[in-house]
Amino acid sequence: MKSYYAGMELDAPCGRCKGETRHRILSITDGVPEKLICVNCNSIHKFRPEKPAKSEPTPRAPRMATPAAPRPSTSPSRFQELMIQEQAGSRARHYSVAEHWEEGAWMDHPTFGLGRVQRRNGRKVEVLFREGLKTLISG
């Protein structure tokens, strides 16, 4: 165990200097420094004992995509049927944060797929996708 004394200098992290700098011990409690003063900026702060070195994290196996249930390609789902009927020929635009989305607009999102804007609230829009209602940013 290290022994410390008042007036001793040591290297410690300084929040004001944003790095490890030279400090002087101002007070000690039970053999452990309590208050330090930074030699560079004269800020006074608590002593933070060194953290034990982190061990290398155990590498995890990469996540494997699980095969999706087979979908019949000839028959669209009920959701898709309703969306196609309601879309009535209008084209879905690709989603972009910069785009201004109005209620009723159709979007093609890279993650969620085809969706329709249900409600606009400031810079946010609620969009109905197959997975359910999602809140997205709108320009």
Q: How many domains does the chain have?
A: 2
In-domain check, residue 22: yes
Domain span at residue 35 reads 9-46
Residues 34, 124: Cα–Cα separation, whole Å: 48
* 64 within some domain: no
pLDDT at 136 over 80: yes
Number of H helices, E strands in the chain: 1, 9
* pLDDT for 68: 57
106 close to 92: Cβ distance less than 8 angstroms: yes
Q: Are 138 and 97 in contact (CB under 8 A)?
A: yes
Q: 96: which 2 tokens?
A: 């972009």
Question: Could you tell me the two tokens for 118?
Answer: 């249900």
* Paired residues of 78 in beta bridges: none
- Specify if 133 maps to a domain: yes
- Give 61's pLDDT tier (boundaries 50, 70, 90): low
Q: In this predicted structure, what is the pLDDT of residue 28?
A: 87
pTM, full prediction? 0.41
Q: Can you tell me the distance from the alpha carbon of 21 to that of 28, in angstroms, rounded to the nearest whole number?
A: 19
Q: Are 17 and 38 in contact (CB under 8 A)?
A: yes
Question: Is 115 within a domain?
Answer: yes
Q: Are residues 40 and 84 in the same domain?
A: no
